[in-house]
Copies of this chain bind each other. A is one copy, B any other.
Amino acid sequence: MSKKTVILISREYGSGGRALGEKLAAVLNIPFYDREIILASCKESGYNMSLFEKADKQSKHPITFFLSMYSSSVSPYDLSLNDQVFLIQSKVIREMAKESCVIIGRCADYILRDDPDILRIFVHAPIEDRIIRVKEEYHDEDSDTEEKIKRIDKNRATYYNYYSNEKWGRLSNYDLSFNTSKIAIDTCVKMISHYIQN
Protein backbone atom coordinates (compact mmCIF):
# COMPACT_ATOMS: atom_id res chain seq x y z
CA MET A 1 0.00 0.00 0.00
CA SER A 2 1.52 3.29 -1.00
CA LYS A 3 -1.32 5.72 -0.21
CA LYS A 4 -2.73 6.03 3.30
CA THR A 5 -6.14 4.37 3.67
CA VAL A 6 -8.09 4.19 6.89
CA ILE A 7 -10.73 1.47 6.62
CA LEU A 8 -13.70 1.99 8.93
CA ILE A 9 -15.98 -0.97 9.45
CA SER A 10 -19.47 -0.66 10.89
CA ARG A 11 -21.31 -3.96 11.26
CA GLU A 12 -24.43 -5.67 12.40
CA TYR A 13 -23.76 -8.01 15.32
CA GLY A 14 -23.05 -11.53 14.06
CA SER A 15 -22.43 -10.49 10.45
CA GLY A 16 -18.71 -11.26 10.61
CA GLY A 17 -17.62 -7.63 10.26
CA ARG A 18 -14.93 -7.98 12.90
CA ALA A 19 -13.49 -11.14 11.27
CA LEU A 20 -13.54 -9.35 7.91
CA GLY A 21 -11.62 -6.41 9.41
CA GLU A 22 -9.01 -8.66 11.04
CA LYS A 23 -8.38 -10.59 7.82
CA LEU A 24 -8.21 -7.40 5.78
CA ALA A 25 -5.69 -5.84 8.15
CA ALA A 26 -3.57 -9.01 7.96
CA VAL A 27 -3.68 -9.09 4.14
CA LEU A 28 -2.81 -5.39 3.87
CA ASN A 29 -0.29 -5.64 6.70
CA ILE A 30 -1.71 -2.68 8.61
CA PRO A 31 -2.83 -2.32 12.25
CA PHE A 32 -6.27 -3.51 13.35
CA TYR A 33 -8.05 -1.53 16.08
CA ASP A 34 -11.09 -2.71 18.00
CA ARG A 35 -10.65 -3.16 21.75
CA GLU A 36 -7.24 -1.58 21.28
CA ILE A 37 -9.10 1.75 21.15
CA ILE A 38 -10.40 1.18 24.67
CA LEU A 39 -6.97 0.24 25.98
CA ALA A 40 -5.40 3.31 24.42
CA SER A 41 -8.22 5.48 25.78
CA CYS A 42 -7.59 4.24 29.31
CA LYS A 43 -3.92 5.04 28.95
CA GLU A 44 -4.72 8.48 27.52
CA SER A 45 -7.20 9.41 30.23
CA GLY A 46 -6.13 7.51 33.29
CA TYR A 47 -9.76 6.39 33.64
CA ASN A 48 -10.55 2.84 34.65
CA MET A 49 -11.08 0.21 31.94
CA SER A 50 -14.53 -0.66 33.27
CA LEU A 51 -15.75 2.86 32.63
CA PHE A 52 -15.12 2.44 28.90
CA GLU A 53 -16.52 -1.06 28.85
CA LYS A 54 -19.63 -0.30 30.82
CA ALA A 55 -20.50 2.98 29.14
CA ASP A 56 -24.09 2.38 28.24
CA LYS A 57 -23.53 4.40 25.10
CA GLN A 58 -26.25 6.90 25.61
CA SER A 59 -25.49 10.23 27.17
CA LYS A 60 -28.04 12.01 29.28
CA HIS A 61 -27.07 15.54 28.29
CA PRO A 62 -27.00 15.97 24.53
CA ILE A 63 -27.17 19.75 24.65
CA THR A 64 -24.19 20.03 26.94
CA PHE A 65 -22.29 17.64 24.73
CA PHE A 66 -22.96 19.50 21.51
CA LEU A 67 -22.19 22.84 23.13
CA SER A 68 -18.82 21.47 24.16
CA MET A 69 -18.08 20.58 20.55
CA TYR A 70 -18.65 24.07 19.29
CA SER A 71 -17.99 26.35 22.22
CA SER A 72 -15.10 26.88 24.56
CA SER A 73 -17.47 28.01 27.32
CA VAL A 74 -18.29 24.44 28.30
CA SER A 75 -15.56 22.58 30.10
CA PRO A 76 -15.17 18.85 29.34
CA TYR A 77 -15.76 18.30 33.03
CA ASP A 78 -19.33 19.61 32.68
CA LEU A 79 -20.02 16.59 30.47
CA SER A 80 -21.50 13.27 31.44
CA LEU A 81 -18.97 10.51 31.88
CA ASN A 82 -20.13 8.86 28.65
CA ASP A 83 -19.55 12.03 26.68
CA GLN A 84 -16.09 12.38 28.18
CA VAL A 85 -15.41 8.78 27.15
CA PHE A 86 -16.51 9.62 23.59
CA LEU A 87 -14.21 12.63 23.41
CA ILE A 88 -11.25 10.64 24.70
CA GLN A 89 -11.94 7.83 22.20
CA SER A 90 -12.25 10.39 19.41
CA LYS A 91 -8.82 11.75 20.22
CA VAL A 92 -7.35 8.23 20.25
CA ILE A 93 -9.03 7.36 16.94
CA ARG A 94 -7.73 10.53 15.26
CA GLU A 95 -4.23 9.63 16.42
CA MET A 96 -4.54 6.04 15.10
CA ALA A 97 -5.87 7.30 11.74
CA LYS A 98 -2.67 9.21 10.99
CA GLU A 99 -1.46 5.98 9.37
CA SER A 100 -3.27 3.28 7.37
CA CYS A 101 -5.29 0.98 9.61
CA VAL A 102 -8.59 -0.85 10.07
CA ILE A 103 -10.93 0.52 12.78
CA ILE A 104 -14.05 -1.29 13.97
CA GLY A 105 -17.14 0.71 14.94
CA ARG A 106 -17.07 3.45 17.58
CA CYS A 107 -18.46 6.14 15.30
CA ALA A 108 -15.06 6.42 13.61
CA ASP A 109 -16.59 7.25 10.22
CA TYR A 110 -18.19 10.30 11.79
CA ILE A 111 -15.15 11.25 13.87
CA LEU A 112 -12.93 11.11 10.76
CA ARG A 113 -15.49 12.52 8.32
CA ASP A 114 -13.14 15.27 7.09
CA ASP A 115 -10.29 12.87 6.30
CA PRO A 116 -10.27 12.23 2.51
CA ASP A 117 -8.42 8.94 3.00
CA ILE A 118 -11.16 7.00 4.74
CA LEU A 119 -13.12 4.09 3.26
CA ARG A 120 -16.42 3.50 5.07
CA ILE A 121 -17.75 -0.06 4.99
CA PHE A 122 -20.95 -1.55 6.39
CA VAL A 123 -21.22 -5.32 6.90
CA HIS A 124 -24.60 -6.95 7.33
CA ALA A 125 -26.52 -10.22 6.94
CA PRO A 126 -30.06 -11.49 7.45
CA ILE A 127 -30.91 -12.07 11.12
CA GLU A 128 -31.39 -15.85 10.70
CA ASP A 129 -27.81 -16.28 9.48
CA ARG A 130 -26.47 -14.04 12.21
CA ILE A 131 -28.17 -16.15 14.86
CA ILE A 132 -26.35 -19.23 13.50
CA ARG A 133 -23.03 -17.39 13.38
CA VAL A 134 -23.34 -16.04 16.93
CA LYS A 135 -24.29 -19.46 18.30
CA GLU A 136 -21.29 -21.07 16.56
CA GLU A 137 -18.68 -18.39 17.01
CA TYR A 138 -19.38 -17.33 20.58
CA HIS A 139 -20.64 -20.78 21.67
CA ASP A 140 -23.80 -18.97 22.63
CA GLU A 141 -26.18 -21.57 24.04
CA ASP A 142 -28.87 -19.08 25.07
CA SER A 143 -32.29 -19.48 23.61
CA ASP A 144 -32.62 -15.71 23.24
CA THR A 145 -29.78 -15.16 20.77
CA GLU A 146 -32.05 -13.21 18.44
CA GLU A 147 -33.09 -10.86 21.22
CA LYS A 148 -29.44 -10.39 22.21
CA ILE A 149 -28.46 -9.56 18.60
CA LYS A 150 -31.25 -7.01 18.33
CA ARG A 151 -30.32 -5.44 21.65
CA ILE A 152 -26.65 -5.08 20.68
CA ASP A 153 -27.54 -3.60 17.27
CA LYS A 154 -29.92 -1.19 18.95
CA ASN A 155 -27.14 -0.07 21.29
CA ARG A 156 -24.80 0.45 18.33
CA ALA A 157 -27.43 2.45 16.47
CA THR A 158 -28.25 4.55 19.53
CA TYR A 159 -24.60 5.33 20.15
CA TYR A 160 -23.94 6.20 16.50
CA ASN A 161 -27.09 8.23 15.98
CA TYR A 162 -26.56 10.16 19.19
CA TYR A 163 -22.98 11.24 18.54
CA SER A 164 -23.14 11.65 14.76
CA ASN A 165 -26.66 13.03 14.47
CA GLU A 166 -26.83 10.67 11.49
CA LYS A 167 -28.40 7.24 11.04
CA TRP A 168 -26.48 4.00 11.63
CA GLY A 169 -26.84 1.67 8.67
CA ARG A 170 -28.13 4.32 6.23
CA LEU A 171 -26.70 3.32 2.87
CA SER A 172 -25.55 6.81 1.87
CA ASN A 173 -23.19 6.91 4.88
CA TYR A 174 -20.99 4.12 3.51
CA ASP A 175 -18.74 3.74 0.46
CA LEU A 176 -19.17 -0.01 0.31
CA SER A 177 -21.50 -2.54 1.89
CA PHE A 178 -21.54 -6.32 1.93
CA ASN A 179 -24.14 -8.94 2.76
CA THR A 180 -21.94 -11.71 4.14
CA SER A 181 -24.67 -14.31 3.64
CA LYS A 182 -24.24 -13.78 -0.10
CA ILE A 183 -20.57 -12.87 -0.34
CA ALA A 184 -18.14 -14.93 1.74
CA ILE A 185 -15.89 -12.96 4.08
CA ASP A 186 -12.71 -14.04 2.27
CA THR A 187 -14.21 -12.78 -1.00
CA CYS A 188 -15.12 -9.45 0.62
CA VAL A 189 -11.50 -9.18 1.79
CA LYS A 190 -10.23 -9.83 -1.74
CA MET A 191 -12.65 -7.29 -3.25
CA ILE A 192 -11.63 -4.58 -0.79
CA SER A 193 -7.93 -5.41 -1.22
CA HIS A 194 -8.38 -5.04 -4.96
CA TYR A 195 -9.74 -1.52 -4.43
CA ILE A 196 -6.99 -0.55 -1.98
CA GLN A 197 -4.10 -1.93 -4.01
CA ASN A 198 -5.16 -0.56 -7.42
Q: Evaluate contact between B191 and A194: CB separation under 8 angstroms.
A: yes
Q: Evaluate contact between B182 and A171: CB separation under 8 angstroms.
A: no
A28 at the binding interface (Cβ < 8 Å): no
Q: Evaluate contact between A171 and B177: CB separation under 8 angstroms.
A: yes
Q: Evaluate contact between A174 and B175: CB separation under 8 angstroms.
A: no
16 pairs across A/B with beta carbons < 8 Å? Answer: A119-B182, A171-B171, A171-B174, A174-B177, A174-B179, A175-B178, A176-B176, A176-B177, A176-B178, A176-B182, A177-B177, A183-B195, A187-B194, A191-B191, A191-B195, A194-B194
- Which parts of A159-177 form the interface with B (CB within 8 Å)? 169-172, 174-177
Q: Evaluate contact between A194 and B198: CB separation under 8 angstroms.
A: no
A124 at the binding interface (Cβ < 8 Å): yes
Shortest A114–chain B CB gap in Å is 14
Query: Which residue of chain B is the closest to A192 with respect to CB atoms?
Result: B191
**How far apart sit A174 and B126, CA to CA, in the bound complex (Å)?**
11
Q: Which chain B residues border A178 with CB–CB below 8 Å?
A: 175-176
Q: Which chain B residues border A169 with CB–CB below 8 Å?
A: 171-172
Query: Which of B171, B175, B183, B190 is close to A183, meaning CB atoms less than 8 Å apart?
Result: B175
Tell me the interface secondary structure of chain A in the complex.
mixed
Shortest A166–chain B CB gap in Å is 13
A33 at the binding interface (Cβ < 8 Å): no
A13 at the binding interface (Cβ < 8 Å): no
Q: Evaluate contact between B171 and A176: CB separation under 8 angstroms.
A: no
Q: Which chain B residues border A187 with CB–CB below 8 Å?
A: 194-195, 198
A65 at the binding interface (Cβ < 8 Å): no
**How far apart sit A169 and B167, CA to CA, in the bound complex (Å)?**
14
A86 at the binding interface (Cβ < 8 Å): no
**How far apart sit A142 and B50, CA to CA, in the bound complex (Å)?**
58
